[in-house]
Amino acid sequence: MAPRANWKGFLRIGEVSCAVALYTAASTSERIAFHTVNRATGHRVRREFVDAETGRPVERDDQVKGYEVAQGDYVILEPEEVAAAVPDSDKTLEVSAFLRCGEIDQVYFDKPYYLAPADKAAEEAFALIREGMRKKGVAAIARTVLFRRVRTVLIRAHDEGMIATTLNFDYEVRSASEAFKDIPSMRIKGEMLELAEHIIRTKAGEFDVTAFDDRYESALAELVKAKAEGRKIRPPKAPRREKVVDLLDALRESAGIDKKPRARKPATRKKPAPAPSKKAG
């Protein structure tokens, strides 16, 4: 069964355009999901909105959006007013610029989508744009209205299609300087740096997503299965706490280099046993 497109529109570069569709590239729908259940009856629990002051339930028609301008003071926005603020969409991914792949800091990456031609008539123009970008090693920056918001999208060639990644706005990305301000400036050199470089070289590899498993998801699946079968649940063993070791010794051990041998005390020669005395004849 073909996947369902999240969005359909047009990809345009100058006077060249083609019909395209966006498909979800990453989803959490396969994760184990829980429902809130009444322990006493086993029935599902439903959520209900209540007035924070009176405690009385609020009907759906009386629920509106409000923006807090002061403590307890809200500007009320009616549904039609919120809808009017949504920008008009012409369903066009308008490319504004090309830049080198990798030029954008990945901290700005939001969600990835697969971008594919929406119909047979769009395939040739789509392939032309994709191969032109692949040959030049560039990505395209485009803007459009996605899911009620104007979004900036980074488009890159990928296999027979393209990847369209929505980008976070500047105000959504927190400053790294705040997180890093208390890290002291250190210069690592000598044996410690050489050992670190050696360890990195020996562990060089290629990314294989199938080699990584979601241990929490696996543990939940096993827990659910055990409970459903009435098996006894055994708590996991507490992780062993590692002893604090010297950083240089840890690097040497990681690199497979024995610790420097301790200086041995010089061996002391044993005095020869005295010769047995001869008995007088």
Tell me the C-alpha distance between 47 and 247, whole Å: 52
Q: pTM here?
A: 0.71
Give the CA distances from residue 231 to residues 90, 228, 237, in Å, rounded to whole numbers and listed in that order: 57, 8, 18
Q: Tell how strand 7-13 and strand 92-100 pair up.
A: parallel
Q: Is residue 265 part of a domain?
A: no
Closest CA to 67 of 53, 52, 57, 78: 78
Q: Is residue 259 part of a domain?
A: no
Q: Is residue 234 part of a domain?
A: no
User: What is the residue range of 132's domain?
Assistant: 7-27+86-172
Strand partners, 153: 142, 166
Q: Is residue 139 part of a domain?
A: yes
Q: Is residue 280 part of a domain?
A: no
Strand partners, 190: none
Q: Is residue 96 part of a domain?
A: yes
Q: Is residue 119 part of a domain?
A: yes
Question: Who contacts 247 (Cβ-Cβ below 8 Å, separation ≥6)?
Answer: 192
Q: Is residue 131 part of a domain?
A: yes
What's the distance, Cα to Cα, between the start and end of the chain in Å?
A: 115
Alpha helices by DSSP H, the chain: 79-85, 123-136, 176-180, 191-202, 215-228, 247-254
pLDDT in tens, the chain (281 residues): 568 899 999 999 988 999 999 999 988 888 888 999 999 999 999 989 999 999 999 999 999 999 999 998 999 999 888 888 877 778 999 999 999 988 899 999 999 999 999 999 999 999 999 999 999 999 999 999 988 888 999 999 999 999 999 999 999 999 888 888 889 888 888 888 888 888 888 888 887 777 777 777 888 888 888 878 888 877 777 767 666 567 778 778 877 775 555 444 444 454 555 555 544 44
CATH number at residue 126: 2.40.290.10
Tokens linked to 277: 């005395």
User: How many domains, the chain?
Assistant: 1
Asked whether 95 and 142 are in contact (CB, 8 A), the reply is: yes
